[in-house]
């Protein structure tokens, strides 16, 4: 019964995401001049476009280094390995529903490196939290340079509340000692069907994965890599905008990047298709960028990194002797 309810909810969420993406695509392309769109795409500056793609690639590398830093308390995993599995995860997010790539990369890396899968997943949770906090910092910096829409301010307030609450919860869990864990014994013993020992192992492994929160060096490296990744993200956005003839101030590029990242948090199809494009068009409307030009940028800003991660992700899967279907079947059962 529980499995049927879960499948039903997942199915509803999947179709809701597709519907939202379809509506967003319609709104993004509505009233667009197709000749102007084609002319802008054909007239793109390939040098600036290539530079933007390089900046995007180095940003991904910085995220790979960051994951390596978060894994340090568990094991020193080679940076190339974390980068490969990071790209595999991003590829999974682009092709599979429910952002399964995040779980799959944690599980697959743990299997290869002989780590606890739950502990590996905990590092991905910390990574996601660092991204939310970095996004909040970026938006705060942008607000010092320009007035942002009320809708984005509301989303920022909600994100701040969630991020701070999550950070406090993870810090408390990370600093829990054996005495605190022993106090949960009563809870474990009340779980039905013998789930108590399993739940206890899961909690213990998850807390082990939060070890980086107790390491000044590990967290320092992770914060530096986060800052580098987001800075390069702003540079890539600026260059992609310039490639279609849109020259915004640096904080304009930062605003577009922030708006898109807030926008894709809503349910959508795999790869955030539609929502990504519509939010980018809305963000550029603040600078009165023609709709066809804004849409050209959105197609490039979404399409090129999408293709890059999918192609690299499939190559890394092949190199490791894995198949795409294994991402959907990643087993998170405790070790």
Burial-class residue 134 by CB neighbours within 10 Å (0-12, 13-18, 19+). Answer: buried
- How many C-beta neighbours within 10 Å does residue 242 have? 19
Single out the residue of 138, 117, 127 nearest to residue 69, CA to CA.
Answer: 127
For the chain, the straight-line distance linking the first and the last C-alpha, in angstroms and rounded, comes to: 26
Structural domain boundaries in the chain: 34-328
Reported as a single tens digit per residue, the pLDDT across 179-193 is 555 555 555 555 554
For residue 46, the tally of other CB atoms under 10 A from its CB is 8
Q: Are 203 and 116 in contact (CB under 8 A)?
A: no
Average confidence (pLDDT) over 55-68: 97
More confident of the two residues 124 and 164: 124
10-57: per-residue pLDDT in tens?
677 788 889 999 999 999 999 899 999 999 999 999 999 999 999 999
pTM of the entire structure? 0.88
Cα–Cα–Cα angle for 125, 84, 318, rounded to 5 degrees: 125
Q: What is the pLDDT of residues 231-287, one digit of tens each?
A: 999 999 999 999 999 999 999 999 999 999 988 888 888 899 999 999 999 999 999
Which two three-digit tokens encode residue 57? 């690639």
Number of C-beta neighbours around residue 182 at 10 A: 9
């Amino acid at each position: 019964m529980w499995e049927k309810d879960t499948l039903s909810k997942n199915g509803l969420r999947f179709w809701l995401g597709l519907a939202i993406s379809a509506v967003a695509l319609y709104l993004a392309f509505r009233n667009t001049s197709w000749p102007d769109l084609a002319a802008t795409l054909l007239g793109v500056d390939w040098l600036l476009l290539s530079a933007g793609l390089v900046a995007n690639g180095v940003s991904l590398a910085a995220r790979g280094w960051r994951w390596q830093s978060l894994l340090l308390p568990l094991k020193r995993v080679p940076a190339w390995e974390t980068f490969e599995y990071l790209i595999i995860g991003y590829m999974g997010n682009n092709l599979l529903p429910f952002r399964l790539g995040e779980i799959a990369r944690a599980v697959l890396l743990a299997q290869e490196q002989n780590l606890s899968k739950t502990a590996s997943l905990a590092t991905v949770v910390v990574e996601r939290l660092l991204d939310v906090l970095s996004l909040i910092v970026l938006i705060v910096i942008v607000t010092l340079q320009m007035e942002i829409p009320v809708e984005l301010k509301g989303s920022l307030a909600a994100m701040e509340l969630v991020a701070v609450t999550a950070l406090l919860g993870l810090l408390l869990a990370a600093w829990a000692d054996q005495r605190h864990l022993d106090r949960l014994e009563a809870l474990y013993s009340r779980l039905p069907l013998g789930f108590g020992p399993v739940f206890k192992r899961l909690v213990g492994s998850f807390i082990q994965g939060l070890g980086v929160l107790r390491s000044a060096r590990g967290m320092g490296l992770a914060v530096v890599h986060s800052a580098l990744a987001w800075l390069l993200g702003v540079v890539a956005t600026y260059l992609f905008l310039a490639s279609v003839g849109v020259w915004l101030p640096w904080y304009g590029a930062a605003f577009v990047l922030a708006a898109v990242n807030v926008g894709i948090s809503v349910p959508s199809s795999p790869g955030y298709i539609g929502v990504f494009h519509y939010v980018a068009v809305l963000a550029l409307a603040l600078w009165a960028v023609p709709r066809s030009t804004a849409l050209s940028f959105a197609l490039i800003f979404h399409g090129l990194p999408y293709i890059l991660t999918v192609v690299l992700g499939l190559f890394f899967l092949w190199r490791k002797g894995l198949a795409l279907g294994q991402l959907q079947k990643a087993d998170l059962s405790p070790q």
